[in-house]
Amino acid sequence: MKKSFKFALVLTVSAAAIMFSGCKELKDITAFNDLVNYYRFITPDDERDLGKYYYAAGQIDEYHKDGDPNTVQFVLPEVNGIPVRGLGYSNFMNSNNINHNSAVIEKIYIPSTVARTNGRYFGNCKRELTVYCSGNSALIMKDLIDNSDGYNHVLYVWSGMYSYFEKYLAKMGGGLSVHKGNVAYMFNADDMPNYYATECYYVDYVEYGEKIMRRPPEPVREGYEFEGWYIEPDCQTEWSGNYMVPEPEEGNDYREICLYAKWVKD
């Protein structure tokens, strides 16, 4: 017990240097990891319902190092092998709830590792948010509804969980626009870590006929190297930056594109 406490204390102090993954919309689909922000290390004494220990995401920097606004943010699925399971937390120095606290953010991508929020993560919004959720946490949806502050937030979810979110939205009495994402990044491994709630790593929505202009942080799998995203589960055709989301087939208004992680054993 003493050893665990010492380990948690060291990581709590060092968490102030951990990064969010910020992302700019660029033609070459470059993902930026240049934003220093805080992930709070949560010990069993803080939360006992989400496993032995985890990180919770905090504030989002409003600007990149080059001064450009940070309008698109990927919440990391893990930090140094420890899962990011929450959004927001209470500051250990006082009782303040820490939310995203950004006036310029427009899009937030949430991996399926995230299972909870502090109930106010989407509070104090200064504009409408579009949130992309690949997991199964109805608490994310509830947080968006409870803290809409008059804005019409939009939630895109993985198609495999869409009926689940529809059911809970009805129980909550509506108040949020929920849609299926049409681009799914699949972890594509039988031994996917159990802190991922679904096999979908991240989800996105791209207008049909347009290019995919963002990509998530590279996934991590113990004992393997990640070698890119592919169009098929057996990874024969690598996805290129010029790939456009094809139109739905005639008579349909929806089509999902799945991109699969390729893994090569170390």
Task: Report the alpha-carbon distance of residue 232 to residue 234 in Å, rounded.
Answer: 5
Closest to 158 measured CA to CA, from 185, 134, 186: 134
Portion of the chain with pLDDT greater than 90, in percent = 49
Average pLDDT over residues 51-68: 81
pLDDT of residue 222: 92
What residue type is assigned to position 252 of the chain?
N
pLDDT of residue 158 exceeding 80, the answer is: yes
E-strand ranges in 23-176 read 39-42, 54-57, 72-74, 78-79, 82-87, 89-90, 97-98, 107-110, 116-117, 130-133, 154-157
Average pLDDT over residues 58-82: 86
What residue type is assigned to position 221 of the chain?
R
Boundaries of every domain in the chain: 2-265
C-alpha to C-alpha distances, 50 to 11, 119, 196, nearest whole angstrom: 18, 16, 12
Task: Report the alpha-carbon distance of residue 174 to residue 2 in Å, rounded.
Answer: 47
Residue 111 parent element (H or E): none
Average pLDDT over residues 136-145: 92
Sequence length of the chain is: 266
C-alpha to C-alpha distances, 82 to 56, 200, 220, nearest whole angstrom: 10, 18, 11
Average pLDDT over residues 58-69: 82
pLDDT of residue 22: 47
3-state SS class at 11: helix
Q: Looking at per-residue confidence, does 40 or 178 come out higher? A: 178
Average pLDDT over residues 233-254: 90
3-state SS class at 17: helix
Portion of the chain with pLDDT greater than 70, in percent = 80
Apex 159 CA angle, 157 and 160, nearest 5: 110
pLDDT of residue 173: 82
Q: Looking at per-residue confidence, does 19 or 22 come out higher? A: 22
Task: Report the alpha-carbon distance of residue 89 to residue 104 in Å, rounded.
Answer: 21
pLDDT of residue 95: 54
Average pLDDT over residues 7-22: 36
Task: Report the alpha-carbon distance of residue 39 to residue 190 in Å, rounded.
Answer: 28
Comparing 49-63, 107-121, 237-251, the range with the smallest average pLDDT is: 49-63
